[in-house]
Amino acid sequence: MPEKSTDDKPGERIAKVIARAGLASRRAAEAWIAAGRVAVNGTVISSPALNVTARDKITVDGMPLPGRARTRLFRYHKPRGLVTTHSDPQGRDTIFRALPKHLPRLISVGRLDLNSEGLLLLTNDGGLARALELPATGWLRRYRVRALGRVTQEALDRLKRGITVAGIHYGSIEATLDREQGANIWLTLGLREGKNREVRKVLEQLGLKVNRLIRVAYGPFELGDLDDGAVEEVETAELRKTLGPELAAQAHADFEGPLEGEAPSPRHPEVRARDAREPGRMTGPGRASFEARLRRAPRDDGERPVRSDRKKKHRRDRTGGPRPKYPRPKS
């Protein structure tokens, strides 16, 4: 007999909980449910339309879920030429193939397209990713843009009222004309929605052709001097403080759980299979190697965050001129 939907029941969707435990994506978890591999409180379920809470006992192939890992967030400097996806049907390089192998399974907060670069937030918590993507969260995304053509500040100021392009309405955009450089101009843009290719489409409506797009901030998190391709973890204490209690509760964030690889629960067969496919990962109980411990995230909030293996170097504006100052978002 099919399960009834439990949309009104408190808790979270079963597939989301399985994905958060690190066993698989939500789509794969839904396929496991349809195949009869998942049971809740001893009863095999066949529909993902089920909400569960911490009191429910969930098993996959008869094995309990691993303990939930701590919510973590990373700043990543996405280079051009990478797509923001785990796999690409066209065979293009992805950001997740380029990331260091010792990191946990991560998902992106929003996306940057193939030819865009700059700050991309990554997290191991799907609930946090969705909360930070919502326009209702109101976080300002800031971009530095180089575009071919000319435009006046007056025309840019009109974007504050919003604009409709090809039947799609885009909300208020803060735009500043910074300087001219040959046939190009440099702009700074701030927006809160982040719809698909929004910056490119809006500026094209103004007669501009974007040839470089760099995201320099996502809400309170900034690109700073992070090198191309580098990744750096946000400390747990800083993340907790930045999110605040309301947003953390909305995302169901967990700042007290163990780091991945420190969970005391036995390793699930799906986790072992995943580790076999990705031998560079640090998962499961027991003592990690000395090399792995050097790369592991801090055990408490007072230590330094995980940093990439790449050495930092002085970063300059690639246009040859002095590096422009990025204006702070308006409060």
Identify which of 239, 241, 227 has the alpha carbon closest to the alpha carbon of residue 307: 227
Q: What is the largest CA-CA distance in the chain?
A: 69
Regarding predicted confidence, which is higher, 317 or 223?
223
Fold of 140-218: Alpha-Beta Plaits (3.30.70)
How far, in Å, CA of 58 to CA of 323, rounded?
53
The domain limits of the chain are: 12-64, 69-134+224-310, 140-218
| Model pTM score | 0.69
- Residues facing residue 120 across a β-bridge: 76
Q: Is the pLDDT of residue 288 over 50?
A: no
Q: What pLDDT sits at residue 328?
A: 54
Other beta carbons within 10 angstroms of residue 209's beta carbon come to: 11
- Collapsing DSSP to helix, strand or coil, 302 comes out as coil
Phi and psi (nearest 5°) for 112? -125, 135
Q: What pLDDT sits at residue 302?
A: 41
Kindly state the tokens that stand for 258: 């163990």
Kindly state the tokens that stand for 327: 């204006």
Where residue 325 falls among pLDDT bands split at 50, 70, 90? low
CB < 8 Å & 24+ apart, contacts of 195-204: 195/168, 195/170, 197/113, 198/170, 199/143, 199/145, 201/165, 201/166, 201/168, 201/170, 202/159, 202/163, 202/165, 202/170, 202/173, 203/145, 203/147, 204/165
Q: Is the pLDDT of residue 35 over 90?
A: yes
Q: Is the pLDDT of residue 150 over 90?
A: yes
Q: Give the 3-state secondary structure of 33-45.
A: HHCCCEEECCEEC
> Which CATH architecture describes the domain 12-64?
Roll (3.10)
Where residue 19 falls among pLDDT bands split at 50, 70, 90? confident
Alpha helices in 165-277 (DSSP H): 198-205, 236-251, 269-277
Q: Is the pLDDT of residue 22 over 80?
A: no
Catalytic residue annotation: 113
How far, in Å, CA of 285 to CA of 270, rounded?
15
Q: What is the DSSP string of 228-251?
A: TT-EEEPPHHHHHHHHHHHHHHHH
Judge whether 127 and 253 are in contact, CB under 8 Å: yes
How far, in Å, CA of 39 to CA of 58, rounded?
6
Q: What pLDDT sits at residue 270?
A: 60
How far, in Å, CA of 315 to CA of 185, rounded?
21
In this chain, the answer to whether the domains covering 12-64 and 140-218 adopt an identical fold is no
| Torsion sign (Cα): 254, 64, 283, 223 | negative
CATH of 69-134+224-310, one of 3.40.50.300, 3.40.50.150, 2.30.130.10, 3.30.70.580: 3.30.70.580
Cβ-in-10-Å burial (0-12, 13-18, 19+) of 163 comes to middle
